[in-house]
Chains A and B, each alone.
Chain A
Amino acid sequence: MRVYLAVFALLALDFWTHAVSTERPVDILVPHSSLNAVKVFLKKNNIPFTVMINNVQELLVREREEMVHNAEMERKSKSFNFAAYHDLETIYSFMDTLVASHSNLISKVNIGRTYENRTMYVLKFSTGGVKKPAIWIDAGIHAREWISHATAVWLADRIATDFMGNRAPVPSILSHMDIFLMIVANPDGYVFTHLSPNPHYRLWRKSRSATSNPKCPGVDLNRNWDAEFGGPGASDDPCAEDYRGPSAQSEIEVKNIVDFIMNHGNFKSFITIHSYMQLLMYPYGYSGTDAPDQPELHDVATSASKALNSWHGTVYKVGSIFHTIKPASGASVDWAYLRGIKYSFAFELRDTGRYGFLLPADQIVSTARETWFALRYIMKYVCDHPY
């Protein structure tokens, strides 16, 4: 043995496990220059060996690259400015960073393209399983409601962080359910709002599809759903802000979401985020009749709004869409409810009209945080009340 050790020292071998007995294997790191000599030596002395790692250097390089990459991802996600409004490209880049930093939890799902051929992405938060009962959250279906997208960006990060930090109730929710978060449901419209400070651009609401009137593009994506389509509170004039489109689901953006949710088949909650007016509402929009689950939905929304209020004192009102804001047919929340997704809610975020659509960026984080309080309550309730 001692002779061997002397020889090994000469060959600059690095023992990763030391020789303790002749019964136990020993791991040795062999420099490339000594490889042949070691192999010859071992064979000559009938010492059985196997190559465990062919090229340690390569592994080290790869590992180091990954560490640098992860550090950069972390730096990027830590340095992302949540207290600012970002354009579509930046938001999409944020999504990639988030997925890269939390690849065990988050994936990016491509659910189709927009009218102007942009990709529509949903972030999937999942701890595994196949088609677990799921929660849907979308933001930005109306382009000018910037606080909606900005809040969703913050929420995505918060869900990831709470999961990583094992902060209740997120790990518990994610052990039973998946969360699907669509930060920009109307990418074409959102890009349009960034093209100019001119209010014709900044205050654009609809999609950017061509209509029967060449002077008036765009459909109100929240009047285009198959829920009493053609009913009150939506216009058949392409020039109107609430133009419902030529037929239900005529808009590709709506159809992509519908197809995704129907193909999944196991959504238990549908939540859509808008601004402004500080309201938390439930179906119906197309009719003043109470939805069958109205008492329960009202209770959930009331408790959620109280949770929201506990953070900054922001007051939200609660009620059905029809009674609280106005009759509106073809709305996404109604569609979801009519498809059996019982816990369907619509948020109208800050404020109540002072800044309206032009909410100052310094209110983004506080708005997002209070919204999270409400959302967390709803998600936990949904999780605790399977059906």
Chain B
Amino acid sequence: MKVFCSLWLLLSLVKLSPAPPASQDPPFACRGAGDPAPPQPETPEDMASSGDLEPTHYPARRAATVALHQLNTRHGSPHRLFALQEVHKASAEDVAAGGRKYSLDFSVTDWASGSAGPALRCSAEVMFPGTERSSPDVQLRCEALQQINSTAQDHAFYQKYIAPESAVSAQHIPDSYGNVSEEMQPFWRLARVAASFIMLRESSENTEFNMAQVASVTQQESSEKQLMLEFVVLLHDLPSQEIVQWKLLASWSPDRGVRVLQTEWQPRCPHDTKPPN
């Protein structure tokens, strides 16, 4: 892989007219040597204000997005996936050791039930610690969560794919044109839930993550009655507009929910050594 990458680097110095790549897996453009620059903190104006925040502005929305990631890690499933509908109220205050705590009142919808689904009201405290590379802490309460019943669909899905001969494998979900097949929808949602573990862990006040695409899903051999899925997901960070690639191994069953067992940041080129902040 390293040799291939260096060769490609050499070739890229020669200006070639853009030709369609021969295979489905053309070489990625390599980033410059060294770490990709960490997201720059914005000017203090929005950040420093304590007290009430404008709900439609990005600081409140970013904090609510973090709360959503937490919600999905706990309650997401192949047929249940939550999205932010609207922030109603938000405030922030400085806390010990340079941290910041947001208090939020917001509504969420379930993407799996479409526009027909009800909106749930939630409240949360999201605490971003002052130290770099430290994950936010989220305390979250949502009304009527238990009333959303997707267990029948989840069980049917589980029964179908826990079978020993099942070996699902797919790429580019959605594809370039936004298509997701019926069969892939639950896998897409599972990827989004699994990605939420990473997005939650990697979030700061200077990031706003979303999952742009599932680059690939490969079913692994089931273990301890858990569906085992290896995903490569592409995350989109709104402030920097960067696309960040992660490989992860996740397990799921209706009883245990989603667990993420391994994560691996994927460099665009092997000589990049550290993950982005």
> A313–B85 Cα gap in the complex (Å)?
13
Residues of A within 8 A of B238 (CB): 277, 325-326
Cβ-defined partner of B29 (8 Å) among A191, A217, A288, A358: A217
> A315–B31 Cα gap in the complex (Å)?
37
Query: Does B83 belong to the interface (CB within 8 Å)?
Result: yes
Residues of B within 8 A of A323 (CB): 46, 54, 57-58
The A-contacting residues of B in range 230-265, CB under 8 angstroms, are: 234, 236, 238-243
The reply to whether B241 and A205 contact each other, CB–CB distance below 8 Å, is yes
Query: Does A45 belong to the interface (CB within 8 Å)?
Result: no
Query: Does B4 belong to the interface (CB within 8 Å)?
Result: no
The B-contacting residues of A in range 58-112, CB under 8 angstroms, are: 84-85
Residues of A within 8 A of B20 (CB): 195-196
What class of interface size applies to chain A in its complex with B? 35 or more
Measured CB to CB, the nearest residue on chain A to B215 is A199
Looking at chain A's contact residues, the main secondary structure is: loop
Cβ-defined partner of B213 (8 Å) among A196, A199, A201, A217: A199
Query: Does A240 belong to the interface (CB within 8 Å)?
Result: yes
Measured CB to CB, the nearest residue on chain A to B57 is A323
| Smallest CB separation, B234 vs chain A (Å) | 6
The A-contacting residues of B in range 47-66, CB under 8 angstroms, are: 54, 56-58
1/0 contact string of B16-52 vs chain A (CB within 8 Å): 0010110011101111100011001011011000000
Residues of A within 8 A of B18 (CB): 116, 191-192, 195, 208
Query: Does A33 belong to the interface (CB within 8 Å)?
Result: no
> A323–B45 Cα gap in the complex (Å)?
10
1/0 contact string of A305-338 vs chain B (CB within 8 Å): 0000000010101110001111100000000000
The reply to whether A237 and B37 contact each other, CB–CB distance below 8 Å, is yes
Interface pick from B71-79, B94-102, B149-157, B176-184: B176-184
| Smallest CB separation, B83 vs chain A (Å) | 7
Cβ-defined partner of B177 (8 Å) among A214, A239, A317, A361: A361
Report which B residues bind A (CB closer than 8 A): 9, 12-13, 15, 18, 20-21, 24-26, 28-32, 36-37, 40, 42-43, 45-46, 54, 56-58, 83-84, 86, 111, 115, 171-172, 174-180, 210-213, 215, 234, 236, 238-243, 268
